[in-house]
Amino acid sequence: MTLLCGDCGLSFSTLHNLKIHKKHRHGTSKAVPASNLCAVCGKRFASKSNLTLHLRLHSGIRSFVCSVCKKSFSRKCTLDKHMLYHTGERRYTCERLFSCDECSATYVASSDLTRHKLSHVAVKPHACTVCCKTFARKHDLNVHRLYHAGSSRFSCQYCERQFVEESNYKRHLRQHTGEKPYQCNACGIRYSQVFKALRNKSM
């Protein structure tokens, strides 16, 4: 079995050698088997099952669909969490917003704020070889590369516009269908985008 150092990528044939390397080079002895590294973004996982769940995010397969707004998810637990917004157990309100300390951006989910905060970090080690734009996360670089490659995975059936990311595609579709899945809890007005419902609530 080949073992990789999760910090620098060096490979070792024995766990003993990896632990010695990590202790002296990185100050830790945690070992991550090479089979538990994501080949797309390089993220490490303690177990094979966690890696398998993670790979669904890269595959674009979203088997769990919301019966109310048709938004799709790669994990059932994420769909269950999303459904709480429709049932009213979680609300799109200003009191529940997560705000960025460095700019005026606000988010409904703390995970979205965490992802956004990476845009403010000074060190962005993942650079595009075509345009030299840099990214804090390798996943964001991989999505960016699809734009250069012209790899549009989603096509609008109304106007044939092409999209790389599913979230942008679904937002665009609502312009054609008139669907407004987000409701302001203060006045009841419905919106096609969540930030508009939040903005109305704060006025």
pLDDT interval class at 177 (50, 70, 90)? confident
Contact 38, 52 (CB under 8 A): no
3-59, CATH topology level: Double Stranded RNA Binding Domain (3.30.160)
- Residue 134 confidence (pLDDT) above 80: yes
pLDDT interval class at 34 (50, 70, 90)? low
DSSP 23: I
- Residue 33 confidence (pLDDT) above 70: no
pLDDT interval class at 131 (50, 70, 90)? very high
Distance of CA 18 to CAs 11, 22, 42, 51, 98, Å? 8, 6, 18, 21, 40
Distance of CA 168 to CAs 3, 52, 91, Å? 39, 25, 23
Distance of CA 184 to CAs 64, 120, 179, 190, 201, Å? 25, 30, 15, 6, 6
Average pLDDT over residues 17-29: 63
Residue given tokens 């704060």 in the structure block: 202
Lowest mean pLDDT among 33-47, 137-151, 153-167: 33-47
Selected residue with higher pLDDT from 135 and 188: 135
pLDDT interval class at 200 (50, 70, 90)? low
Domains of the chain, residue spans:
3-59
Q: How does pLDDT run across 43-58, given as a tens digit for each residue?
A: 777 678 877 877 777 7
User: Distance between CA 11 and CA 164 in Å, rounded?
Assistant: 35
Closest listed residue to residue 170, CA positions, set 69, 83, 97: 69
